[in-house]
Amino acid sequence: MKWSFGKWALLILAFVTLAILKLHDYDRTPGTIHGEELLYSWSGINLIETGTPISWSTLNYPKENKVFEGVVGKGKTLGFPATLYKPWLDEPPLYSLLSGGSAHLFKANRNEVIPSSYVRIPSVLASLATMALIFVVGLTFFNYWIGMLAMLFYGVTPILVFGSRLSVPENMIALGVMSGLLLAKKYLEKPRWWMAAAFGIMTLILGLMKPTGFFMAPLAIFLSLKKRRWFDVVIITGFTVLGIAGFMAYGAHYDWNLFKTIVGTQGTRFAGWSGLPYILVSPAFDIFQIIDGWYIFAFLMAIFFSLRKGASPLLKLVNFFFFYWLMVAVFSGTEQDLLPWYRYTFFPLLAIYGAMGLAYLYKKADFMAVALTLGMLLSSRFLLANAFRPTTPTIVFRVVFLLALVPSLLEYAWNVKWAKSVSRVIVIFFLALGIFYNAKYIYSAFTIRCESVDCPFGPTTKLSEVKMPFLWRFLVPEDDSNMLTTRRPKF
């Protein structure tokens, strides 16, 4: 594939810029002392340093397995209330070893709260690889510009960015989903046994990070059955069984009866019919909702392109992957319990749909398209507000919104020829403004959130301290003096 120098330069510049945006303050947003991260990091660092996994749990462990109950850490700002069990068998060991291994390399104290800056390194590095694969998917399934837009969407949508930082195995599974999508394309075009082996190995590795990873197997087996490749089914099944056996052997090594009890409890967590609607009405990257218009826009586009007639075979494959992993989140998650990391597996696919939606709205540029652009893509303006910083004045919002709709209404009512061109300029302008607001919020989320409240944080790393060259001055909050009185923002 031959590209012009301009395309290569644009790709490299975009990737580096988005990578800096993802890395900057990765240890501070999501907030530090995150229980789900400590779950894995404590288990992994204890497994490495003592040979036995120890971590917190709310499951029905026997009393004799309890080794600590109280506040782990020093004082209120660095403390985490937990009940620790030994051996901890809630999850397979592989991701714990990554998370705890990173903490071990930084010489973290396993008996205290482990800094987020240490344990998030595997996730943030995986997110950069995922972002690169998103571009490759957009390129190979559609075209260069969809790939660029998809990578941009993944790199500037707050929920997708902050979720990709959290140290949980779902971010590794998300990387596997994008790898699997590319592999599935090649397999359906020209199946080979080694592709089935790759699916099997991927399933084994992801399953030993978290049992959710084993769901890669039914998807791969379905594709093999579709191509009537019976031996490939055997290969995938064999690797999957090997992974499950490895997990069972891990549990049996420590306590077989305890392992059976814990796995049984994990397998019967409550799920129900409201699971899918709850995912659609609870945008979040953490256990708190955040109204991110780009994330909701991507969901709308996913539904639109999935139900639209005349989809190409490659788009149908993307649709299939998206709904499969969406159903995995519904089945493996809990009903109306906000644990958004179960959704991380399909987050990269949302970026693909978001990119397709942006391209579609630009091309269409009618009244509905402009209204959707303005209504969804500027939501981060509200996130830039806090107790000292007001949001857009109401009258400004209403006037700007209505004026921006005028050209599209002229085109709709009287087919004014120049109106569609003006509407496209409006779409581009507000898209660029939305990107700016998203980038500013992502870059300064910790500062904005903690300007009026006390936010604890631990030691940082060089990765977290990386700054945006030149542009950082536009991405940090300005002086907040008199922002509520004489210096109120005009927009």
271-312 tens-digit pLDDT:
899 999 999 999 999 999 999 999 999 999 999 999 999 999
What's the rounded mean pLDDT across residues 110-114? 94
The pLDDT value recorded for residue 75 is: 58
Q: Are residues 45 and 134 in the same domain?
A: no
pLDDT higher than threshold 60 for residue 77 = no
pLDDT higher than threshold 70 for residue 76 = no
The residue among 353, 383, 399 that closes a domain is 353
pLDDT higher than threshold 90 for residue 259 = yes
The pLDDT value recorded for residue 176 is: 98
Q: Are residues 171 and 113 in the same domain?
A: no
Q: Are residues 247 and 324 in the same domain?
A: yes
Q: Is 43 among the domain residues?
A: yes
pLDDT higher than threshold 90 for residue 458 = no
What's the rounded mean pLDDT across residues 122-146? 98
Instruction: Please report how the helices 293-307 and 417-449 are oriented relative to each other, as an axis angle in degrees rounded to 10.
Output: 130
Q: Is 10 among the domain residues?
A: no
Q: Are residues 400 and 345 in the same domain?
A: no
Q: Are residues 372 and 338 in the same domain?
A: no
Share of the chain above pLDDT 70, in %: 99
Residue 271 to residue 333: CA distance in whole angstroms: 7
Q: What DSSP state is assigned to residue 214?
A: G
Q: Are residues 160 and 76 in the same domain?
A: no
pLDDT higher than threshold 90 for residue 329 = yes
Q: Are residues 330 and 297 in the same domain?
A: yes
> How many domains does the chain contain in total?
3
Residue 263: name the closest of 17, 25, 59, 20 by CA: 59
Q: Is 14 among the domain residues?
A: no
For CA atoms 33, 38, 42, 45, give the dihedral sign: negative
The pLDDT value recorded for residue 209 is: 98
The pLDDT value recorded for residue 352 is: 98
pLDDT higher than threshold 80 for residue 78 = no
Least confident of 1-10, 91-100, 184-193, 289-298: 1-10
**Which pTM does this prediction carry?**
0.96
The residue among 74, 103, 119 that closes a domain is 119
Q: Are residues 102 and 248 in the same domain?
A: no
Q: Are residues 187 and 85 in the same domain?
A: no
Q: Is 487 among the domain residues?
A: no
Q: Are residues 143 and 285 in the same domain?
A: yes
Q: Is 245 among the domain residues?
A: yes
The residue among 64, 97, 119 that closes a domain is 119
What's the rounded mean pLDDT across residues 207-218? 98
Residues 270 and 334: beta-carbon distance below 8 Å: yes
Q: Is 127 among the domain residues?
A: yes
Q: Are residues 191 and 215 in the same domain?
A: yes
Q: Are residues 140 and 197 in the same domain?
A: yes
What's the rounded mean pLDDT across residues 346-372? 97
Q: Is 18 among the domain residues?
A: no
The residue range of the domain holding 141 is 123-353
pLDDT higher than threshold 80 for residue 74 = no
What's the rounded mean pLDDT across residues 156-172? 98
Residue 44 to residue 388: CA distance in whole angstroms: 41
Q: Is 8 among the domain residues?
A: no
